[in-house]
Amino acid sequence: MTGSALLHPPREWSASLAVLAGGAAHTYGDLDARSRLRAQHLLAEAATPDLDGARVGFLMAPGSEYVATQWAVWRAGGIAVPLCPDHPARELEYVMDDADCSALIGAGETGRRMEGPASERGIPFHDVSATNEGRLALHSPDSGPLPRITEDRPAMILYTSGTTGRPKGVVTTHGQIEAHITSLVGAWRWTRDDRILHVLPLHHTHGIVNALCCPLYAGATVEFAGGFDPAVTWERLASGEISVFMAVPTIYAKLLHAWDAAEGPTRRRWARGAGALRLMVSGSAALPVRVFERWEEITGHRLLERYGMTEIGMGLSNPYDGERRPGTVGQPLPGVDLRLVRPATGRVLADGVEAMDPGASGEIRVRGPMVFSEYWRRPRETEAAFVDGWFRTGDEAVLEDGYYRILGRRSVDILKSGGYKISAIEIEEMLRTHPAVHDCAVVGIPDEDWGERVAAAVVPAPGGSLRSDAIAALLDPWVRERLARYKVPRAWRCVEDLPRNAMGKVQKPAVLVLFGVGAGPLHSPPG
Ligand code: MLC
Ligand code: AMP
């Protein structure tokens, strides 16, 4: 049996506070009972004793409903497919169809968006809003065995952008998620006394595993802020009730802007409060050194930067106790085998904390019990992602004085904006289906706060306008209807032709020049 502390919280935690959201408090006992009831309901509706790996998509605002649903799907033997409330219908439908969901669950206004898609697909929709909970209890058997959940069973599919077209589903098992959790719980010293302020989206590994599953595994409390708002976040950090905070670099940058704009007494109160936290982590994108330094200057707190990826969980972390070095991501986390390899030759340049070829940079490759099993229904891509059992991350790094430093992505077609991974190819393919677009190229413009911002150079279809503002006005709303808003280009240029080399291949560094960005290393992390 695995995930025991998550799926079967110890009895002595029953009265402890697990989740705080929107002013309501939920104990471990409450979540345990609700998730059991929901699991039984799911099984009764499916008329089976075990969902046996059926995919269940769910959509709801961050809060106790989310946790009870995630646990329910797991306890019923299903695979959890969390959906993002901010996504437009087409993006949601892509995920539910690619994952081939056999049921959808929703709560509140947000969740009712699932009702239509469920009926179109002829699959059940379960409304688990609080108001519906009583009805659910009536229609479900009040006891009965739940299936045995072994560690090799698939637990979750998270969608991640890659170098090819639409996002791929990353499948992790219960054992892989538990290995990810236990590594972090140990390294970052989670205890029952902790309370995390949760501001991250719940369709990616950072928000789901690091900031939600870890504290719940340890018996701590998760306080959902209901999304990210700089002033609300500062107030809660300064409340004296929060011990842990985790965010992407853009959030720290936005918090610094809010601090700069605040009055003297507010500044002092915020800074003093935040400085008293036990742990503040940054990850999902490069933390600019100046943000690290400014944060320390203001709060006295040295942010702990770590490196991870949907496919591997967390790989590298600055030490909890030792020196946290700005611009670096520390050393391999417990249980993680990590090395640097020169892809062309396979030569190992560094292994763990040992450098074979000091100063040489190479691709990060990872092995270990937390590494994912497969891309959902994409055997060829799964096979191509591994070499001799090692996962190829596509990230370039160097080991310097015992600390890893991320140099950037090997592919120019993967962008990171606000901590979200974005595929240039996906946006280009979408844009090319618009009748006003003959061709296009998408790049990431370096940006102080966002890391990168999405930019699109467009060759209009014959007879179309060559004005950048006209193409922006036409395409912006069209893209918003189809893709998540963080994928919408923020800058547009109309051009007669895209810059190409002699082979006819689009030259992305030259496309960047169209946006006023000098040619140079494309994806070096800022700072
Ligand atoms: C919002 N906007 C973005 C954006 N997020 N633009 C580019 N990139 C993004 N990521 C746009 C909005 O559409 C809006 O424009 C404008 O910016 C302001 O939006 P906002 O809603 O006010 O911004 P905010 O809510 O402050 O969002 C910023 C953010 C959010 C940083 C809180 O992006 C976020 O939650 N990022 C976290 C992503 C994450 O969890 N990644 C982890 C992946 S797992 P307009 O024009 O629409 O008004 C992973 C592994 C690992 O990477 O190692 O952890
Ligand atoms: P995702 O696929 O959304 O899980 O994003 C994973 C990617 O985020 C990694 O492959 C890295 O490129 C990037 N990343 C995560 N953490 C860091 C970090 N601390 N510094 C630089 N890049 C990071």
Residue ranges of the domains in the chain?
A: 22-149, 196-409, 414-514
Q: Residue 408: count other Cβ atoms within 10 Å of its Cβ.
A: 18
The sheet with strand 244-247 has its strands ordered as 24-27, 17-21, 221-224, 195-198, 244-247, 279-282, 304-309, 313-317, 331-332
Cα(417) to centroid(ligand 1), Å: 7
SS3 488: coil
Range 22-149 classified under CATH 3.40.50.720: no
pLDDT at residue 524 in the model? 43
The mean predicted confidence, pLDDT, of the chain is 94
Burial-class residue 507 by CB neighbours within 10 Å (0-12, 13-18, 19+): middle
Q: Assess contact for 349 and 437: CB atoms under 8 A.
A: no
Burial-class residue 477 by CB neighbours within 10 Å (0-12, 13-18, 19+): exposed
Pairing outcome for strands 337-342 and 437-447: unpaired
pLDDT at residue 144 in the model? 74
Q: Whose CA is nearest to atom 31 of ligand 1?
A: 418
Q: Assess contact for 316 and 330: CB atoms under 8 A.
A: yes
pLDDT at residue 162 in the model? 82
Residues 6+ apart with CB under 8 A from 360: 340, 342, 349, 350, 398
Question: Atom of ligand 1 at shortest distance to CA of 306?
Answer: 53
Question: Atom of ligand 2 at shortest distance to CA of 414?
Answer: 12
pLDDT at residue 6 in the model? 81
Question: Atom of ligand 2 at shortest distance to CA of 394?
Answer: 10
Handedness of CA 474, 161, 163, 350 (dihedral sign): positive
* Average pLDDT estimate for 8-13: 92
* Average pLDDT estimate for 258-270: 98
Is the CB–ligand 1 distance for residue 281 below 6 Å?
no
Which of the four pLDDT bands, split at 50, 70 and 90, describes residue 141? Answer: low
Residue 527 in this model has a pLDDT that exceeds 80: no
Residues 6+ apart with CB under 8 A from 350: 339, 340, 356, 357, 360, 362, 399
Percentage of the chain with pLDDT > 90? 91
List pLDDT tens digits, range 222-263: 999 999 999 999 999 999 999 999 999 999 999 999 999 999
Q: Whose CA is nearest to atom 21 of ligand 1?
A: 228
Q: Residue 280: count other Cβ atoms within 10 Å of its Cβ.
A: 21
Q: Looking at the CA of 407, name the nearest ligand.
A: 2
Cα(290) to centroid(ligand 2), Å: 19
pLDDT at residue 164 in the model? 77
Number of H helices, E strands in the chain: 18, 28
Residue 21 in this model has a pLDDT that exceeds 50: yes
Cα(527) to centroid(ligand 2), Å: 16
Is the CB–ligand 1 distance for residue 404 below 6 Å?
no
List pLDDT tens digits, range 444-493: 999 999 999 999 999 999 987 778 899 999 999 999 999 999 999 999 99
- DSSP-assigned beta bridge partners for residue 90: none
Percentage of the chain with pLDDT > 70? 95
Which of the four pLDDT bands, split at 50, 70 and 90, describes residue 3? Answer: low
Q: Assess contact for 92 and 120: CB atoms under 8 A.
A: no
* Average pLDDT estimate for 319-324: 98
The owner of tokens 């200057």 is: 297
Cα(21) to centroid(ligand 1), Å: 21
Tokens of 259: 């601090």
Range 414-514 classified under CATH 3.30.300.30: yes
Cα(215) to centroid(ligand 2), Å: 22
Instruction: Pick from 183, 255, 485 the residue to mutate for probing ligand 1's pocket: most ligand atoms within 8 Å of its CB.
Output: 485
pLDDT at residue 522 in the model? 41
Cα(251) to centroid(ligand 1), Å: 9
List pLDDT tens digits, range 150-190: 999 999 999 999 877 899 999 999 999 999 999 999 999 99
Beta strand segments in 238-320, E:
244-247, 279-282, 304-309, 313-317
> Following DSSP, what letter does each residue of 407-422 receive, concatenated?
EEES-TTEEEETTEEE
Cα(249) to centroid(ligand 2), Å: 11
Residues 6+ apart with CB under 8 A from 97: 121
Instruction: Pick from 228, 234, 481 the residue to mutate for probing ligand 1's pocket: most ligand atoms within 8 Å of its CB.
Output: 228
Residue 523 in this model has a pLDDT that exceeds 90: no
Calpha distance 240→223 (Å, rounded): 13
pLDDT at residue 134 in the model? 56
List pLDDT tens digits, range 397-415: 999 999 999 999 989 999 9
Taking alpha carbons only, the member of 407, 311, 411, 318 closest to residue 367 is: 311
**Amino acid in the structure at residue 235:** E
pLDDT at residue 324 in the model? 98
The owner of tokens 């004296």 is: 240
- 401 Ramachandran zone, left/alpha/beta (phi>0; psi -120 to 50): left
Taking alpha carbons only, the member of 500, 487, 408, 411 closest to residue 459 is: 500
pLDDT at residue 526 in the model? 37
Q: Whose CA is nearest to atom 28 of ligand 1?
A: 418
SS3 438: strand
Residues 6+ apart with CB under 8 A from 87: 95, 484
Which of the four pLDDT bands, split at 50, 70 and 90, describes residue 521? Answer: very low
Equal fold, 22-149 vs 196-409: yes
Handedness of CA 135, 138, 139, 142 (dihedral sign): positive
> Following DSSP, what letter does each residue of 313-346 receive, concatenated?
EEEEE--SSS---TT--BEEPTT-EEEEEETTTT
More confident residue, 18 or 143: 18
Calpha distance 234→217 (Å, rounded): 26
Q: Tell me which residues have their CB closer than 6 angstroms to ligand 2.
A: 160, 204-205, 283-286, 305, 307-310, 329, 393, 395, 406, 409, 416, 421, 525
φ and ψ of 415, to 5 deg: -115, 160
SS3 304: strand
Is the CB–ligand 1 distance for residue 167 below 6 Å?
no
**Amino acid in the structure at residue 274:** A
pLDDT at residue 169 in the model? 98
Calpha distance 77→71 (Å, rounded): 10
Question: Atom of ligand 1 at shortest distance to CA of 229?
Answer: 26
Q: Classify domain 196-409 at the CATH superfamily level.
A: ANL, N-terminal domain (3.40.50.12780)
φ and ψ of 36, to 5 deg: -65, -45
